[in-house]
Structures are given as structure tokens and as C-alpha cells.
Amino acid sequence: MSQTELEPPRERLDAEPRYDEAHLDPDRRVVVIRPASRWPHLDLRELWHYRELMLRLVWRDVVVRYKQTFLGITWALLVPAFTTAIYAIVFGKFAKFPHGNTAYPVLTAAGVVPMQYFASALTLSSTSLVTNLPLVTKVYFPRVMLPMAAVLVPLVDLFFGMIVLVGMMAIYSVWPTGIQVVLAPAFIGLAVITALGIGFLLSTFAARWRDVPYMIPVFLQVLPLVSGVMYAIDQIPVKWQWIFAFNPMAGVITGWRWALLGEAEPNWGQMSISVTMGLLLFTLGLAIFRTNEPRFADTI
């Protein structure tokens, strides 16, 4: 056998170099692990990269929400309708709560719809880490997506609740009276931001202490009374209006009624307090969530 046959084949000098296909993939991400920043921030680029996961989380919770129920999505119509009827009888007919010039059932329905969204969003977001334990402990993804998805799910109920509200408005012939109707989504946005901020805060606490699910129902029973769901806030003494302004949901309901029902224009000084409190709750909740995020898998 010749020496040439024993020698291993040599690479041709003019051969094209080989590259790992991963290096040619423009969507390949490089994850750099750094200590968690204490500054409240949302990595929008990372959230966009995981957008499909966000959609799947929202869709999963929407499907599960009324799965194996006899009435299904009809509950999203019955709950606000039944709550409005009870409030109209107890607080409108017997307690004679102040309601201004708007028919009391319509006024109440306009308060019930955003309040029920807020209550559902707060409940779901506060337990979002605990209820997704396998994801938190085994898979990497932005943990902020769990409270965010939980806050988006009740928007489906809000949509169906609007059907009840519009029906009440049609019965009593109460319709928007000006261009301010375009600001209605902005007040719902304030409710979303506030629910998300408190959801960040409570989900962090729930990962460490299991008292949170017991505390939330007590808080939600009192919240409608200090948010103006059963009465018109502009009909109560001015000093109480300023105190209630520190509750962002009072600003949400006041602005929502002004936009949709043509109620009295909000006091913009009080509204600025409500907006500021909502943004402060969001910033505080996000800061605490980010600070404790590296320890979720160990403490949950």
C-alpha cells in the first residue's frame, strides 16, 4: 500500500469554511446574566421576544375561566347585571344614595363594570406566581409576564359587561353628550395600571406568605364603598372627595361616568391625585417585584 493511501485526506485550501447554523440565525438571542437591578424597569425588547408566550398565557386563562361551567361566558353578563340590580334595590330604593341627575341603575352599572374588572384583575394577578409554580421554578421567561397576563384576562369580562351597561343606557336613554367619550379607554387604562402595580406587589408577597388570598376579599368588600360605585362622588362633601381622590379607582369611576354618561366633569386637581397614586403604586409594585424576582424559585 502506498504512503499516499495511508495519509489522511487533507482539506482543500480553497474549501469554504463551515459555520454553526446558530451563528447565522438572526433571531438567536444571547442572554447575559447580571445581578437584578433594583430600579423599576420593564425590558420591552425582552417582552416583545416572548410575546407569543404572553398570548398563550392569556388565552389559556380565558379558556379555563369558564371551562366546565353550565352557563359559560354568560356569567360575564349575569354578574354585572345581578350586582347592579342588588345595588339599585338596596342602595337606590331603600338607602337613597345620592345619584345626581342620572338614573340610579345606569349610574350604578357604570360603576360596577370597571370595579368588577379591577377586582378580577387584582385577584388573578396577586396569585399569578403561585398558580404557575412549575413555570416559575423550571423555565426561564420574564416573570413580569405572569401578573401582566392576569391583568389582561378580565378585559374579556369587561367587554361583556359593557353590553349590560349599554343596555341600561338604552333603557333610560342616557348617552354620551360630548367628545369626552374618546377618553373612556384612558380611565380604564388607569385601572389596568393600578391593578398591575398592586398585582406586582401582592404576587411578590404571596410567593413568601400565603396570607394574601385571605386578605384580598376583605379589601375588595370595602373598595366599592370608597370608590363611589353606589353613589355619585360629586354629591358628597368636598372634603371627602379630596380624601377619596387618593384612591385611584375613585378617579377611574368618576372619569368613566363623565365620559360615557355625561356626568359632572371631574375635578382635575382630584383626578391628578388619583393618576399620581396609580403611577406610584405601579412603580412601587414593579420595584419590589424586580428586587425579589431572583429569589422567587427558592421562596415560592
What is the rounded CA–CA span in Å between residue 138 and residue 53?
A: 15
- Check residue 33 and give its pLDDT: 58
Cα–Cα–Cα angle for 200, 35, 204, nearest 5°?
20
User: Sorting pLDDT into bands at 50, 70 and 90, what band is 3?
Assistant: very low
216 Cβ contact list (under 8 Å, min separation 6): 122, 123, 126, 202
27 within some domain = no
Instruction: Express each pLDDT in 39-59 by its tens digit.
Output: 677 778 888 888 998 999 999
Query: What is each CA distance from 59 to 89, 155, 171, 187, 212, in whole angstroms?
Result: 37, 12, 34, 24, 25
To 5 degrees, how large is the angle CA 116–CA 121–CA 127?
Answer: 130
pLDDT above 80 (res 29): no
Task: Examine residue 196 and state whether it is found in any structural domain, yes or no.
Answer: yes
Read off the C-alpha cell for 11.
482539506
Residue 72: inside a domain, yes or no? yes
Torsion angle, alpha carbons of 115, 117, 119, 122, to 10 = -130
Domain that includes residue 161, residue range? 52-299
Whether 192 and 121 have beta carbons less than 8 Å apart is answered as yes
Residue 274: predicted pLDDT = 97
State the sign of the Cα–Cα–Cα–Cα dihedral 191, 197, 199, 205: negative
Task: Tell me the CB-side half-sphere exposure of residue 135, using CA atoms within 13 A.
Answer: 14
pLDDT band, residue 4 (cuts 50/70/90): very low
Checking if the pLDDT of 117 tops 90, the result is yes
List, in sequence order, every beta strand (DSSP E) within 124-247.
none
Residue 34 in any domain: the answer is no
Give the cell for residue 257: 361616568
Tens digits of per-residue pLDDT, 254-286?
999 999 998 889 999 999 999 999 999 999 999
- Burial class, 130, CB count within 10 angstroms (exposed 0-12 / middle 13-18 / buried 19+): middle
Give the model confidence (pLDDT) of 80-91 as tens digits.
Answer: 999 999 999 999
46 lies in some domain:
no
Taking the model in full, what pTM does it have? Answer: 0.85
- Does the pLDDT value for residue 34 go beyond 80? no
Q: Is residue 31 part of a domain?
A: no
Residue 151 lies in a domain: yes
CA atoms within 13 A on the CB side of 39: 2
Structurally, how many domains does the chain consist of?
A: 1
Class of residue 199 by CB neighbours under 10 A (exposed 0-12, middle 13-18, buried 19+): buried
Q: At what angle do helices 145-152 and 51-65 cross, to 10 degrees?
A: 50
CA atoms of 146 and 135, how far apart (whole Å) = 10
pLDDT score at 198:
96
Residue 92 maps to a domain: yes
pLDDT in tens, 138-175: 888 889 999 999 999 999 999 999 999 999 999 999 99
* Cell reading at 198: 398592586
